[in-house]
């Protein structure tokens, strides 16, 4: 298809799966990570060799406006923007310090402002474009001991709905995917095996989702009619 696709937080999990399905489609990829740039470079090379596409990897702190601005100055226009970079923090709100709060908000929410502000002008000029923000069910219902994460994802949902209305006259679609429990390194790092097993018992599907399922949904949204915009689409196995 040869679309230009930007995916943040693509070093592992959902972001990596999203990048791979776009590579399979023949799209040109620009992928970022905060750490593990060596692994990202290997992944980018693998995508190029397997699918014959251009795949460029960058280290970028998506919560840093200057870094994001410089990155898009280099990349230029994109057709599809996938905001996936995110961090979690689990614990009592009273145990959280300001630095942790800012890290969660900066990565999960401020980054959307930086990336969208960078790509929207060119999308408006061309009267087309697709923006998908990876959110969470906690953005809709909240989670105990994940106040900052829940608040940031609630912000992602509101940001998505508002920007969709702003950009609809310009032919640009903006949607979000609210993920339930997905089998990612981040979840396995933050939650014990007992916690994950308990969650799986609560999910009607009886299991966690996998990153490829989220990636396939991203592709479906990108290929959907342009009338689909401003939606928070939940993928959670019937859980919430």
Q: For the segment 14-36, what is each residue's pLDDT rounded down to a tens digit?
A: 999 999 999 999 999 999 999 98
- pLDDT confidence bin for 188, thresholds 50/70/90: confident
Measure Cα distances from 165 to 24, 108, 173, 230 in Å: 31, 21, 9, 7
Residues 69-86: tens digit of each pLDDT: 999 999 999 999 999 999
Q: To the nearest whole number, what is the mean pLDDT of the chain?
A: 96
Name the β-bridge partners of 174: 131
What is the maximum alpha-carbon separation in the chain? Answer: 51
- pLDDT confidence bin for 139, thresholds 50/70/90: very high
- In the numeric block, which tokens belong to residue 60? 């970028």
pLDDT at position 126 is 98
Pairing of strands 80-83, 55-59: unpaired
Tell whether the model's pLDDT for residue 191 goes beyond 90.
no
pLDDT at position 1 is 60
Residues 159-175: tens digit of each pLDDT: 999 999 999 999 999 99
Tell whether the model's pLDDT for residue 192 goes beyond 90.
no
Distance CA 66, CA 176 (A): 25
Percent of the chain with pLDDT over 70: 100
Catalytic residue among 58, 114, 149, 227: 149
- Of 64, 144, 58, 46, whose CA–CA distance to 102 is shortest? 64
- In the numeric block, which tokens belong to residue 172? 């640009």
Domains of the chain, by residue range, sit at 4-235
Residues 45-58: tens digit of each pLDDT: 999 999 999 999 99
- pLDDT confidence bin for 94, thresholds 50/70/90: very high
Distance CA 96, CA 101 (A): 7
pTM of the model: 0.96
| CATH class name, domain 4-235 | alpha beta
Distance CA 181, CA 236 (A): 7
Percent of the chain with pLDDT over 90: 92
Q: What is the DSSP letter of 56?
A: E
Does the annotation mark 149 as catalytic? yes
- Of 15, 6, 17, whose CA–CA distance to 55 is shortest? 6
Distance CA 42, CA 26 (A): 18
């Amino acid at each position: 298809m040869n679309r230009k696709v930007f995916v943040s937080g693509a070093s592992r999990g959902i972001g990596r799966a999203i990048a791979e399905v776009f590579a399979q489609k023949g799209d040109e990829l620009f992928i970022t990570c905060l750490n593990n740039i060596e692994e990202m470079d290997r992944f980018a090379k693998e995508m190029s060799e397997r699918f014959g596409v251009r795949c460029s990897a960058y280290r970028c702190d998506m919560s840093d406006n200057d870094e994001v601005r410089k990155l898009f100055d280099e990349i230029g226009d994109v057709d599809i923007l996938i905001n996936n970079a995110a961090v979690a923090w689990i614990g009592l709100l009273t145990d959280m310090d300001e630095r942790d709060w800012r890290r969660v908000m900066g990565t999960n929410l401020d980054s959307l402002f930086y990336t969208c502000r960078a790509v929207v002008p060119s999308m408006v000029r061309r009267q087309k474009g697709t923006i998908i923000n990876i959110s969470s069910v906690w953005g809709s219902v909240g989670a105990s001991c994940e106040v900052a994460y829940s608040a940031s994802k609630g912000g992602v949902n509101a940001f998505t709905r508002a920007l969709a209305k702003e950009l609809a006259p310009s032919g640009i679609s903006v949607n979000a995917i609210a993920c339930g429990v997905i089998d990612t390194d981040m979840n396995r790092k933050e939650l014990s095996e007992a916690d994950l097993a308990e969650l799986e018992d609560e999910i009607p599907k009886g299991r966690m989702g996998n990153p490829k399922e989220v990636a396939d949904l991203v592709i479906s949204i990108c290929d959907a009619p342009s009338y689909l915009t401003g939606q928070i689409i939940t993928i959670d196995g019937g859980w919430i």
